[in-house]
């Protein structure tokens, strides 16, 4: 067997101990040609393995039996030799430690403006599942089998928790889309650790999970959107106290702007007044350019010109707002976190909580409405995808079937039927 120290080209996380500890060694036995040393301290045997000149790794053998300790030390020497030959880290981090490092890294990115608060919240939420599932495993043990078995573990997770102890908003059966996102995060953590050298030359796992069923949030049909608009007006008009009027007015304009711009909810919530830039379009109409920052980076969003009325009306309710203030701000000036509770109350009042297929409407249904209306109106799919900050493939996959352009619908309708003699029309 080749000496370990000759194989150790890039050993990380090695440990050296001070001489007083070495002086405490009792009942010493050398193993594997002197590469390993078994010694006793405080009734427990330990192993010292040389990895390079004057560099050692110390491990507890967790036994007071000398014969058992010697066999364990021999295995440890062979293991370390294998790790050094394949340039693997000798002291492998636990997966939970790596996850915590990754979350801290993304927290720093958020503070630098490179990760949104919504993405950070998702990362923190999902990372708890991975810590619970595989946190005690060594990082190098996270392979294709471990990743694939996460799916069934995750599907059963909340079923194994008593109902009274489950989080209030816990979804008992995660969707395939949810599982796909959580799998992507687990793989992202492994890839990040790999790039930092924590896994040595170990091959990255290749397991992927593709949802069998694509989950598409329902888009409002035009009649439903008009019903929603009337419900918002009624909701504002019937406000019981002046204290709540501002929030109801904000919700109305918030919904109308989302429906006529295609922005993501998080992108809208992050807009500041300075991110709303007025301009005049090619037809001489006033419009606004929204400079949004979302998961696809920074981009311009050009809303329909009708949004000028909503933006101006919203700003007019503010007392000389400053450029750094939030566009969608609560009465106190604080940033909008979510208006979903108020939105749900409105659609409940309007008795339109779901579409004809029983699918629940959400604020994201407004983004879908924008895409479908744009496609039906004949706007190019590339232009819609660019404005929404998504791909043409996503537009085709999620909206194409619901959005036949008027010009195509006219063609599909065919020429007017020729009236036959005596045939009723």
Under the banding of pLDDT at 50, 70 and 90, the label for residue 413 is: low
Under the banding of pLDDT at 50, 70 and 90, the label for residue 354 is: confident
Question: How far apart are the C-alpha atoms of 388 and 299, rounded to whole Å?
Answer: 9
Under the banding of pLDDT at 50, 70 and 90, the label for residue 11 is: very low
Please check whether residues 281 and 368 belong to one and the same domain. Answer: yes
pTM of the model: 0.57
* Domains of the chain: total: 3
CA geometry: angle 178, 179, 181, nearest 5 deg: 65
Residue-by-residue DSSP string for 114-163: SS-HHHHHHHHHHHHHHHHHHTTSBGGG--HHHHHHHHHHHHHTGGGS-G
Please check whether residues 190 and 268 belong to one and the same domain. Answer: no
Mean pLDDT value of segment 398-411: 61
Please check whether residues 44 and 144 belong to one and the same domain. Answer: no
Q: Which two tokens stand for residue 211?
A: 């949802």
Distances (CA, A) of 262 to 252, 256, 295, 391: 16, 10, 14, 13
Please check whether residues 55 and 117 belong to one and the same domain. Answer: no
Cβ neighbour number for residue 359 with a 10 Å cutoff: 15
User: Which range, of 7-21, 221-235, 371-385, averages the lowest pLDDT?
Assistant: 7-21
Cβ neighbour number for residue 271 with a 10 Å cutoff: 22
User: Which range, of 8-17, 217-226, 330-339, 382-391, averages the lowest pLDDT?
Assistant: 8-17
Residues spanned by the domain of 69: 4-85
pLDDT of residue 16: 39
Under the banding of pLDDT at 50, 70 and 90, the label for residue 358 is: confident
23 falls within a domain: yes
* Locus of tokens 């309708």: 413
Please check whether residues 103 and 81 belong to one and the same domain. Answer: no
> Residue 256 pLDDT > 90, yes or no?
yes
Cβ neighbour number for residue 1 with a 10 Å cutoff: 10
* Locus of tokens 């020429």: 415
Cβ neighbour number for residue 177 with a 10 Å cutoff: 13
pLDDT of residue 117: 82
Please check whether residues 68 and 50 belong to one and the same domain. Answer: yes
257 falls within a domain: yes
More confident site: 395 or 251: 251
Please check whether residues 182 and 270 belong to one and the same domain. Answer: no
Phi, psi at 283, each rounded to 5° = -100, 10
List the CATH number of the domain containing 365: 1.10.443.10
60 falls within a domain: yes
Question: How far apart are the C-alpha atoms of 90 and 86, rounded to whole Å?
Answer: 10
Mean pLDDT value across the chain:
84
216 falls within a domain: no
Please check whether residues 24 and 112 belong to one and the same domain. Answer: no
421 falls within a domain: no
Q: What is the pLDDT of residues 76-129, one digit of tens each?
A: 888 888 777 766 666 678 999 999 999 999 999 988 878 878 789 999 999 999
215 falls within a domain: no
Domain final residue, candidates 179, 195, 211: 195
Question: How far apart are the C-alpha atoms of 299 and 289, rounded to whole Å?
Answer: 10
Please check whether residues 45 and 185 belong to one and the same domain. Answer: no
Q: Which residues pair with 138 in a beta bridge?
A: 94
212 falls within a domain: no
210 falls within a domain: no
């Amino acid at each position: 067997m080749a000496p370990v120290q000759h194989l150790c080209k890039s050993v990380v996380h090695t440990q050296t101990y001070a001489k007083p500890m070495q002086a405490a060694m009792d009942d010493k036995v050398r193993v594997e040609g002197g590469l390993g040393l078994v010694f006793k301290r405080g009734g427990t045997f330990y192993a010292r393995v040389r990895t390079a000149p004057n560099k050692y790794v110390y491990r507890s053998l967790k036994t007071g039996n000398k014969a058992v300790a010697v066999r364990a030390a021999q295995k440890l020497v062979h293991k370390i030799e294998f790790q050094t030959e394949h340039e693997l880290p000798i002291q492998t981090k636990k997966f939970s430690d790596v996850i915590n490092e990754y979350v801290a890294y993304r927290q720093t990115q958020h503070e630098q403006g490179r990760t949104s608060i919504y993405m950070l919240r998702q990362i923190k939420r999902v990372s708890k599942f991975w810590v619970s599932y595989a946190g005690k495993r060594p990082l190098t043990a996270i392979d294709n089998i471990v990743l694939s078995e996460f799916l069934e573990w995750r599907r059963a997770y909340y079923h194994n928790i008593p109902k009274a102890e489950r989080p209030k908003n816990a979804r008992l059966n995660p969707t395939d889309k949810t599982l796909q996102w959580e799998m992507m995060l687990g793989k992202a953590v492994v890839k990040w650790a790999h790039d930092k050298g924590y896994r040595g030359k170990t091959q990255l796992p290749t397991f992927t999970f593709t949802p069998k069923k694509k989950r598409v949030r329902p888009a409002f049909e035009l009649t439903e959107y008009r019903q929603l608009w009337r419900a918002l007006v009624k909701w504002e008009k019937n406000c019981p106290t002046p204290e709540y009027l501002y929030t109801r007015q904000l919700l109305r304009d918030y919904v109308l702007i989302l429906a006529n711009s295609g922005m993501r909810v998080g992108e809208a919530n992050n807009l500041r007044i300075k991110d709303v830039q007025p301009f005049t379009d090619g037809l001489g109409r006033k419009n606004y350019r929204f400079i949004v920052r979302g998961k696809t980076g920074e981009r311009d969003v050009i809303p329909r010109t009708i949004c000028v009325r909503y933006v101006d009306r919203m700003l007019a309710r503010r007392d000389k707002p400053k450029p750094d203030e939030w566009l969608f701000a609560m009465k106190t000036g604080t940033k909008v976190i979510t208006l979903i509770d108020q939105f749900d109350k409105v659609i409940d009042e309007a008795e339109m909580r779901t579409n004809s297929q029983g699918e629940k409407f959400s604020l994201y249904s407004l983004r879908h409405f924008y895409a479908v209306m744009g496609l039906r109106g004949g706007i190019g799919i590339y232009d819609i995808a660019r404005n929404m900050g998504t791909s043409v493939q996503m537009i085709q996959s999620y909206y194409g079937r619901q959005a036949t352009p008027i010009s195509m619908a006219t063609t599909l309708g065919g020429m007017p039927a020729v009236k036959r003699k005596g045939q009723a029309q």
